[in-house]
Amino acid sequence: MKKKVLILEDEIIIANSIQLHLQANGYDAEIATNPVDAEALFGELPFDILLCDINLNHETDGITFVENVVRDSVPVVFLTAYSDLPTLKRAEVTCPYAYLIKPFNKDQLLVTLNLSLVHARKKFLHTSQRNTSIPDNIELTARELEILNLLAQSKTTDEISAALFISSLTVATHRRNIFRKTQTRGLIELISLAVEKGWI
């Protein structure tokens, strides 16, 4: 199965170039040019990794987006034209897997992306084997369990919204809370845990 990449980049020429190069090398890639669109995509589709520009032409920058929306649900690679210490210190709080300093070449992009996915996979396997990072007593609300079951059926955010008569933003919020409570880093890991716990 192809790895799915979300590209949050407000410079559309750069975003398109990254997307085309990733698609040519076996990835699925979606583009968002602002945090609002990125949050909508992030709530609707299961991504394996996020490529996120730090300096966005928006009131919310890439670091804040990762802090508030992504958290630990997928590995993050930051893209930035700035390598100053204050910016990198801010970004460190989100525990990114890597940084790519603009301008970067296509080989750097692929190597960084591949290594980040490998490290994410190793971390997942290590966590699964030790089973120490997942709390024993996870309490999901009835609504969260409903959404979890629909996610397991590969329902999109819009489909879940229609089925439960709630807004897409509410679905996205519940989804983030589920990932936060379970401390899982992607949909596959979440569903595996749900099966193990008997939630689905």
73-92 exposure pattern, b = at least 16 Cβ within 10 A, e = fewer: bbbbbbbbeeeeeebbeebe
Domain count, the chain: 2
Q: Are residues 74 and 165 in the same domain?
A: no
- Give residue 130's pLDDT band: very low, low, confident or very high (50, 70, 90): very low
What's the mean per-residue pLDDT of the chain?
85
d(CA 139, CA 135): 10
Q: Are residues 161 and 114 in the same domain?
A: no
pLDDT at site 114: 86
Q: Are residues 23 and 55 in the same domain?
A: yes
Q: Are residues 184 and 90 in the same domain?
A: no
Single pTM value for the model: 0.64
Last residue of some domain: 130, 152, 168? 130
pLDDT at site 123: 63
pLDDT at 128 over 60: no
What's the CATH code of the domain at 165? 1.10.10.10
pLDDT per residue as tens digits for the range 52-75: 999 998 988 999 998 888 776 788
pLDDT per residue as tens digits for the range 73-115: 788 999 988 777 888 888 888 888 888 888 888 889 999 988 8
pLDDT at site 125: 56
- On whether residue 135 sits in a domain, the answer given is no
Residue of 117, 82, 81 whose CA lies nearest to 97: 117
d(CA 88, CA 37): 25
- Give residue 9's pLDDT band: very low, low, confident or very high (50, 70, 90): very high
Helix ranges restricted to H, the chain: 12-24, 35-44, 62-65, 85-92, 106-130, 142-152, 157-164, 168-182, 187-197
Please tell me which residue, 129 or 74, carries the higher pLDDT value.
74
**Among 12-16, 49-53, 68-72, 149-153, the least confident range:** 68-72
User: In percent, how much of the chain has pLDDT > 90?
Assistant: 32
- On whether residue 42 sits in a domain, the answer given is yes
Last residue of some domain: 130, 158, 175? 130
Q: Are residues 71 and 167 in the same domain?
A: no
pLDDT per residue as tens digits for the range 22-44: 999 999 999 999 999 998 888 77
CA-to-CA separations, 55 to 11, 43, 49, 52, 176, in angstroms, rounded: 10, 22, 19, 9, 23
Last residue of some domain: 107, 130, 153? 130
Residue of 138, 135, 117 whose CA lies nearest to 188: 117
Q: What domain range is 113 assigned to? A: 4-130
Q: Which two tokens stand for residue 48?
A: 């394996």
**C-alpha 105 chain-centroid distance:** 23
- On whether residue 137 sits in a domain, the answer given is no
d(CA 186, CA 184): 6
d(CA 29, CA 41): 11
d(CA 65, CA 16): 21
